[in-house]
């Protein structure tokens, strides 16, 4: 039947990424595809790295993405699409250098954009869409 849904939405929760700082889940999946929330440079213990340079902030954001994927038995190789939000596009090269550490071969599609402000005053926020297969 058209519009029939066979896979239910499921919320993913892990201690390997920071708790949500607002009304959202760390990630959701329907069993085929997984969406992470935008990950900011906050450690799983809740330490905010907003004063660190973009290299460090990018690494922590991606460590959080990685932690969420690992909760589901996935790796960064499962990632299909990434969106990187920065509060200053001049940070692009620095962000990209750290980013490359996580996606060496066949990197996912990506959009990288400057936005006016990010939650908690951080410099970067990164979200990912991954295949669960
Ligand atoms: C940090 C977020 N992902 C949010 O506030 O939606």
Q: Which of 119, 122, 128 to mutate to test the pocket of ligand 1 (most atoms within 8 A of CB)?
A: 119
Model confidence at 6: pLDDT above 80 = no
Q: Atom 2 (ligand 1): residue with closest C-alpha?
A: 38
DSSP state letters, 25-53: -SEEE-SSEEEEPPBPSB-TT--B-TTS-
Average pLDDT over residues 100-109: 96
Q: Regarding beta strands 79-86 and 33-36, do their DSSP bridges make them parallel or antiparallel, or are they unpaired?
A: unpaired
pLDDT confidence tier of residue 1, bands split at 50, 70 and 90? very low
Number of the ligand 1 atom closest to the C-alpha atom of 37 = 3
Give the model confidence (pLDDT) of 49-63 as tens digits: 999 999 999 999 999
Stated pTM of the model: 0.94
Residue 130's DSSP bridge partners are 34, 79
Task: Give residue 127 CA to ligand 1 midpoint distance, Å.
Answer: 10
Query: 23-59: per-residue pLDDT in tens?
Result: 999 999 999 999 999 999 999 999 999 999 999 999 9
Sorted by sequence, the CB contacts under 8 Å of residue 53 that are 6+ apart come out as 94
Q: What ipTM is given for this predicted complex? A: 0.90
């Amino acid at each position: 039947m058209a519009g029939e849904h066979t896979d239910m939405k499921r919320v993913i929760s892990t201690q390997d990424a920071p708790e949500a700082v607002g009304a959202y889940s760390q990630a959701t999946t329907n069993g085929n595809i997984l969406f992470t929330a935008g990950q900011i440079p906050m450690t799983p213990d809740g330490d905010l790295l907003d004063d660190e340079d973009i290299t460090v902030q990018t690494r922590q954001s991606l460590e959080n993405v990685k932690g969420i994927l690992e909760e589901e038995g996935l790796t960064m190789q499962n990632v299909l699409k990434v969106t990187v939000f920065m509060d200053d596009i001049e940070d692009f090269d620095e962000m990209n250098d750290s980013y490359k550490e996580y996606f060496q071969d066949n990197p996912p599609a990506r959009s990288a954009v400057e936005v006016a402000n990010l939650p908690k005053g951080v410099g970067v926020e990164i979200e990912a869409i991954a295949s669960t297969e």
